Chains A and B, each alone.
Chain A
Amino acid sequence: MERAEIIETTKRFLSEEFEVDPNEIQAENNLHSTLDLDSLDYVDLVVVIEENLGFKPTGDDFKAIQSFNDFYDLVEQKLTVA
């Protein structure tokens, strides 16, 4: 999956799941605050990533993520490994 497609796909399912304006999902924005994630929401984040991209991120993966750019990097890396 190309990066542009990753951005498009993740923007769609993240905005739908967490009910945020897709325009708020910008590469440099903070993923956690933009999606307004509390401790329970990470469970749902894992579910939607698995459903849409086919892999399950770990708790350590999330610790390393700050911006959506970091998230796109993670997705790229996981899909490449797969």
Chain B
Amino acid sequence: MENRVVITGIGTYSCLGENTDAVLDSLRAGKSGIVFDESRKEFGYRSALTGFVKEPDLKPFLSRRERIGMHEPAMFAYMSTREALIQSNLDVDFLEKTETGIIFGNDSTAGAVIQTIDKVRERKDTTLIGSGDIFQNMNCTVNMNLSTIFKLKGINISMSAACASGSHAIGMGYLLIKQGLQDRVICGGAQEINVYAMASFDGLGAFSLNESDPTKASRPFDRDRDGLVPSGGSATVIVESLESALKRNAPILGEIIGYGFSSNGDHISNPNFDGQFRSLNMALKQANIDPKVVDYVNAHATSTPVGDTTEAQAIHSVFGSKVPVSSTKSMTGHECWMAGASEIAYSLMMMNNDFIAPNINFENPDEDSAKINIVPEYKEHKIDCFLSNSFGFGGTNSSLIIKKFIK
């Protein structure tokens, strides 16, 4: 027998706010978290636009030994996970005595690696690097740090799947719980935001150059979009079996009913209609629902000319023109490795507060975005079931379907 899988906690540390209350306010207000970062220009970036997240002070919460192996991804992830665990009524004493897993999405540690290598270049002696750097440098940095801090005893793996990392992390946690292999998995996605993290991506010419008006730069689906804006932070989603959640009397924020995935097997960076179409349909098939049941689609749309067009075509093919669609990346920018998890958190906030966050800066449709129902302004709207898309470099696609929990 398969388990029903629910979500019992969320935490966010993003450019829209450092906790879920602040993020909820920003989502309702359609507030952008995008800034112009002069240091990027000095460093050689083509575009100085970015979502801004400040480095958290973890000294009040963690010992020196607990902090020393953390760079941005783990620091951000600690903040969002701490919040999610509190909401889910989970503490270290409980976690230590039970089997809770962690699957976190992360796909780079550029800032930490460069900092380490600079030390060696300067001092020519690896024994003067210090003990923390290795745990900052490895891609599983979030898992290593959080599993140690929170005394986790279950599955402990990182999910590296480009801009779909956070979404696949939740999907994999869902599958493990559904099959009865885990009761509870801390899932999420983290994204570093330092100047080293996005230099090579900027070099592809994929970022918006609308530097004179940063909050207008990320404009998914709009006719005049000119590229994405990188961003970062962390989001955590506590995924749990219904049985375990009920036993603990935990809050239930939603139920995961479908996880679709696919690989394009095509170009390394170009999107692909067929791959997205298959991912969407797989999620719907697994959820065993008609597309009409979906009340809201949180689009992956990043504000790139080709990507948004392809997704608009895929959404139109599967859902037709009625389902409301918005891309929260219009406010956050592209949170990359984190995005698949943060967009589940953002959509859960919408579902549980009866609104759709606006796809800001959507002023004029193009030929394809005109065919779908993009929501440009805050809208009161009852959501019983939503789908969230995440697509990444290398052609990795993920679609999650979540509905309101009904006993």
CB distance A41 to B65 under 8 Å?
yes
User: Given the complex of chains A and B, what is the CA–CA distance between A47 and B122 in angstroms?
Assistant: 14
Minimum CB–CB distance for B324 against chain A, Å: 51
Interface pairs (8), CB distance under 8 Å:
A18-B64, A40-B131, A41-B65, A43-B130, A44-B131, A46-B127, A47-B127, A50-B128
Q: Can you name the residue of chain B whose Cβ is closest to the Cβ of A45?
A: B131
Task: Say yes or no: is A60 at the interface (Cβ < 8 Å to chain B).
Answer: no
Chain A residues within 8 Å of B129, by CB: 47
B67's nearest neighbour on chain A, judged by CB, is A19
A43 engages B131 (CB within 8 Å): yes
Q: What is the CB-to-nearest-CB distance from B240 to chain A, in angstroms, rounded to a whole number?
A: 33
B109-158 residues at the A interface, CB under 8 angstroms: 127-132
| Pairwise interchain contact A56-B127, C-beta atoms closer than 8 A | yes
Asked if A38 is at the interface of the complex by the 8 Å CB criterion, the answer is: yes
Closest to B133 in A: A43
Chain A residues within 8 Å of B, Cβ to Cβ: 18-19, 38, 40-41, 43-44, 46-47, 50-51, 56
Q: Please, which residues of chain B bring their CB within 8 A of the CB of A43?
A: 127, 130-131
Q: In the bound complex, do residue A47 and residue B64 qualify as a contact, i.e. CB atoms below 8 Å apart? A: no
* Interfacial chain B residues near A44, Cβ < 8 Å: 68, 130-132
- Beyond A38-B65, A47-B130, 4 additional contacts (C-beta under 8 Å) are A44-B130, A44-B131, A47-B129, A50-B128
* Interface size bracket, B side: 10 to 19
A41 in contact with B127 given A18-B64, A19-B64 (CB within 8 Å): no
| Chain B residues within 8 Å of A47, by CB | 127-130
C-alpha gap A38/B63 in the complex (Å): 13
Which A residues are in CB contact (< 8 Å) with B132? 44
CA distance A40 to B129 in the complex (A): 12
Complex-state Cα separation, A41 to B128, whole angstroms: 12
The distance from the CB of A54 to the nearest CB of chain B, in whole angstroms, is 12
Please encode chain B, from 336 to 366, with 1 for each CB lying within 8 Å of some chain A CB and 0 for all others. Answer: 0000000000000000000000000000000
In the bound complex, CA of A16 to CA of B354 (Å) = 50
Kindly list chain A residues whose C-beta atoms are within 8 Å of the C-beta of B128.
46-47, 50-51, 56
Task: List residues of chain A with CB within 8 A of the CB of B64.
Answer: 18-19
CB closest chain-B residue, reference A20: B64
Interface string of B46-77 (1 = CB under 8 A from A): 00000000000000000111001000000000
Q: Could you tell me the distance in whole angstroms from the C-beta of A58 to the nearest C-beta in chain B? A: 11
Q: Smallest Cβ distance from A40 to chain B, in angstroms? A: 4
Contacts of A40 in B (CB 8 A): 65, 131
User: CA A56 – CA B129 in complex, angstroms?
Assistant: 13
Distance (Å) between the CB of B40 and the closest chain A CB? 31
Q: How far is the CA of A43 from the CA of B126 in the complex (A)?
A: 11
Q: Which residue of chain A is the closest to B135 with respect to CB atoms?
A: A40
User: In the assembled complex, which residues on chain A have CB atoms less than 8 Å from the CB atom of B65?
Assistant: 38, 40-41
Smallest CB gap from B63: residue in A: A19
Q: Which B residues are CB-close (under 8 A) to A38?
A: 65
Q: How far is the CB of A63 from chain B (nearest CB, A)?
A: 17
- Identify the 4 closest CB pairs spanning chains A and B, nearest first: A43-B131, A40-B131, A19-B64, A47-B130
Q: Which residues of B contact A56 (CB under 8 A)?
A: 127-128
Q: Name which residue of chain B comes closest to A39, CB basis.
A: B131
**Complex CA–CA separation, A14 to B212 (angstroms):** 48
Query: Please, which residues of chain A bring their CB within 8 A of the CB of B68?
Result: 44
Which residue from chain B places its CB closest to the CB of A40 in the assembled complex? Answer: B131
Bound CA–CA A19/B68 (angstroms): 12
